[in-house]
Structure 1
Amino acid sequence: MADRTILIVGTFDTKNAELDYIADVIRGQGGGVRTMDVGVLGEPARPCDYPKDAVAEEAGSSIAEAISFADESRAMEIMACGAARLALRLYHEGLFDGVIVLGGTMGTDLALDVCAALPLGVPKYIVSTVSFSPLIPAERLASDIQMMLWSGGLYGLNSVCKSSLSQAAGAVLGAARAVEKPQTEKPLIGMTSFGKTVLRYMVALKPALEARGFEVAIFHATGMGGRAFETLAAEGVFACVMDFAPQEVGNHLMGSALSAGADRMTNAGANGTPQMVSIGCYDLVDFIGWHNVPEALRGQEVQTHNRLLSSVLMTTEQRCAMARELCAKLANAQGQTVFLLPMHGGNEWDRAGGPLSDPDGLAAFVGAVREACPANVVLKEVDAHINDAAFVDAVLGQFDQWCAAGVISAR
Structure 2
Amino acid sequence: MAVVIVGTLDTKGEEIGFARDVLQAQGVNVHIVDTGVVGEPQIEPDTSAGEVAEAAGTTLDALREEADRGEAMEAMGEGATAITQRMHEAGDLQGIMGLGGSGNTSIATTAMRALPVGVPKLMVSTMASGDTEPYVGARDIMMLYSVADIEGLNQLSRQVIANAALAMVGMVTNEPDVEVDEKPTIGITMFGVTTPCAKTARAYLEDRGYETIVFHATGTGGRAMESLIEEGVIDGVLDLTTTEWADELVGGVLNAGPDRLDAAGERGIPQVVSTGALDMVNFGPRDSVPDEFEGRNFHIHNPQVTLMRTTAEENAELGSIIGEKLAAATGPTALVLPLGGVSMLDVEGEDFYDPDADAALFDALRESADDEVELIELETDINDDAFAERLAETLDGYMRAAGVAPE
What TM-score do you get using the length of structure 1 for normalisation?
Answer: 0.90
Per-residue Cα deviation, 1:104-125 (whole angstroms, up to 9, x for no partner): 2221221232012111100111
Q: 1:45 aligns with which of 39, 42, 45?
A: 42
Say if 2:331 is the partner of 1:335.
yes
Give the Cα–Cα distance (whole angstroms) in 1 for the partners of residues 370 and 108 of structure 2. 39
Shift of residue 179, structure 1, vs aligned partner: 4.3
The equivalent residue for 2:84 is 87
Per-residue Cα deviation, 1:52-82 (whole angstroms, up to 9, x for no partner): 2322233343323333433232233222112
Say if 2:188 is the partner of 1:191.
yes
The equivalent residue for 1:119 is 116
Shift of residue 173, structure 1, vs aligned partner: 2.4
The equivalent residue for 2:52 is 55
User: Match of 2:93, SS?
Assistant: coil
Give the Cα–Cα distance (whole angstroms) in 2 for the partners of residues 390 and 170 of structure 1. 50
Say if 2:31 is the partner of 1:20.
no
Per-residue Cα deviation, 1:364-384 (whole angstroms, up to 9, x for no partner): 221122222245533222232
Closer, same or farther: CA 134–328 of 1 in aligned 2, 3 Å = farther
Shift of residue 199, structure 1, vs aligned partner: 2.8
The equivalent residue for 1:152 is 148
Say if 2:203 is the partner of 1:207.
yes
Closer, same or farther: CA 242–8 of 1 in aligned 2, 3 Å = same
Say if 2:90 is the partner of 1:65.
no
The equivalent residue for 2:73 is 76
Per-residue Cα deviation, 1:273-303 (whole angstroms, up to 9, x for no partner): 2211111111011111265212343212221
Is the contact between residue 121 and residue 179 of structure 1 (CA under 8 Å) also seen in structure 2? no
Is the contact between residue 34 and residue 49 of structure 2 (CA under 8 Å) also seen in structure 1? yes
Per-residue Cα deviation, 1:298-323 (whole angstroms, up to 9, x for no partner): 21222122222221112222222222
Shift of residue 386, structure 1, vs aligned partner: 1.1
Give the Cα–Cα distance (whole angstroms) in 1 for the partners of residues 9 and 99 of structure 2. 10
Shift of residue 181, structure 1, vs aligned partner: 6.7
Letter in 2 for 1:223: G
Q: How does 1:275-290 map to 2 (within 5 A)?
A: 275-289=271-285
Letter in 2 for 1:122: V
Q: 1:238 aligns with which of 231, 234, 241?
A: 234
Letter in 2 for 1:34: H
Is the contact between residue 205 and residue 392 of structure 1 (CA under 8 Å) also seen in structure 2? yes
Shift of residue 99, structure 1, vs aligned partner: 0.6
Closer, same or farther: CA 333–363 of 1 in aligned 2, 3 Å = same
Q: 1:36 aligns with which of 23, 33, 44?
A: 33
Q: 2:223 aligns with which of 227, 233, 244?
A: 227
Shift of residue 398, structure 1, vs aligned partner: 1.6
Is the contact between residue 279 and residue 352 of structure 2 (CA under 8 Å) also seen in structure 1? no
Is the contact between residue 243 and residue 276 of structure 1 (CA under 8 Å) also seen in structure 2? yes
Give the Cα–Cα distance (whole angstroms) in 1 for the partners of residues 177 and 291 of structure 2. 44
More displaced, 24-33 or 104-113?
24-33
The equivalent residue for 2:259 is 263
What TM-score do you get using the length of structure 2 for normalisation?
Answer: 0.91
Q: 1:351 aligns with which of 344, 347, 360?
A: 347
Give the Cα–Cα distance (whole angstroms) in 2 for the partners of residues 258 and 306 of structure 1. 15
- Alignment size in residue pairs: 406
Shift of residue 200, structure 1, vs aligned partner: 0.9
Is the contact between residue 121 and residue 181 of structure 1 (CA under 8 Å) also seen in structure 2? no
User: Match of 1:303, SS?
Assistant: strand
The equivalent residue for 1:165 is 161
The equivalent residue for 1:405 is 401
The equivalent residue for 1:8 is 5
Give the Cα–Cα distance (whole angstroms) in 2 for the partners of residues 163 and 294 of structure 1. 42
Say if 2:98 is the partner of 1:97.
no
Is the contact between residue 198 and residue 348 of structure 1 (CA under 8 Å) also seen in structure 2? yes
Give the Cα–Cα distance (whole angstroms) in 1 for the partners of residues 133 and 101 of structure 2. 12
Shift of residue 327, structure 1, vs aligned partner: 2.3
Give the Cα–Cα distance (whole angstroms) in 2 for the partners of residues 137 and 228 of structure 1. 14
Shift of residue 332, structure 1, vs aligned partner: 3.2
Say if 2:269 is the partner of 1:273.
yes
Q: Which blocks of at least 5 consecutive residues in structure 2 are unaligned?
A: none
Closer, same or farther: CA 332–132 of 1 in aligned 2, 3 Å = farther
Give the Cα–Cα distance (whole angstroms) in 2 for the partners of residues 193 and 52 of structure 1. 43
User: Match of 2:272, SS?
Assistant: strand
Q: 1:106 aligns with which of 103, 117, 131?
A: 103
User: Match of 1:201, SS?
Assistant: helix
Same amino acid, percent of matched pairs: 36
What is the root-mean-square deviation in Å for CA atoms of aligned residues? 2.5
Shift of residue 136, structure 1, vs aligned partner: 4.6
Q: Which blocks of at least 5 consecutive residues in structure 1 are unaligned?
A: none
More displaced, 319-328 or 279-288?
319-328
Give the Cα–Cα distance (whole angstroms) in 1 for the partners of residues 286 and 11 of structure 2. 38
Is the contact between residue 138 and residue 221 of structure 2 (CA under 8 Å) also seen in structure 1? no
Give the Cα–Cα distance (whole angstroms) in 2 for the partners of residues 151 and 311 of structure 1. 34
Give the Cα–Cα distance (whole angstroms) in 1 for the partners of residues 325 and 225 of structure 2. 16
Is the contact between residue 6 and residue 33 of structure 2 (CA under 8 Å) also seen in structure 1? yes
The equivalent residue for 1:388 is 384
Give the Cα–Cα distance (whole angstroms) in 2 for the partners of residues 128 and 351 of structure 1. 45
Shift of residue 15, structure 1, vs aligned partner: 0.7
Give the Cα–Cα distance (whole angstroms) in 1 for the partners of residues 138 and 252 of structure 2. 21
The equivalent residue for 2:288 is 292
User: Match of 2:200, SS?
Assistant: helix
Shift of residue 130, structure 1, vs aligned partner: 2.0
The equivalent residue for 1:175 is 171
The equivalent residue for 2:367 is 371
